[in-house]
Amino acid sequence: MQTKRVRPTQRASVLQQGARVKTVVTVEIPAGVEAILSSAGYTDERLAEETQRALALVLFQRKVLSLDQAARCARMPLWAFIPWLGEHGMAVAEYDEAELQRELDTARWLIGQQAL
């Protein structure tokens, strides 16, 4: 795992073409830690994937990104991102008591409509 230098993308031309904008972030890992990660099976690709997902989780938690945006940032389909958040202790939605009661009332009403 060596530090690789990448030239910044010409954002204006990339945006005009409708392509993705790529931001390169360099993470410096001390040599001792690098050996431990390597022996645990961490490749550059795995570290990049997990770092990107961790960033998406934090940005969703801080309400910087919506659920859909965070899933795209994590490069995961929404249907896989939602349970992944749960596995990491994150709730997808936060309800206060009044909102939760309205949701439960709506669910009960819908169930009643199906019985008719």
pTM: 0.65
Question: Measured between alpha carbons, how far is 116 from 113 in angstroms, rounded to an integer?
Answer: 5
pLDDT at 108 over 60: yes
How far CA 97 is from CA of 22, 63, 92, 93, in Å, comes to 41, 20, 16, 13
Which band of pLDDT confidence, cut at 50, 70 and 90, is reported for residue 54?
Answer: very high
Whether the pLDDT of residue 1 is over 80: the answer is no
Res. 9: pLDDT tops 50:
no
Dihedral sign, Cα of residue 20, residue 24, residue 42, residue 56: negative
Average pLDDT of the residues of the chain: 83
Say how far apart CA 55 and CA 44 lie, in whole Å: 16
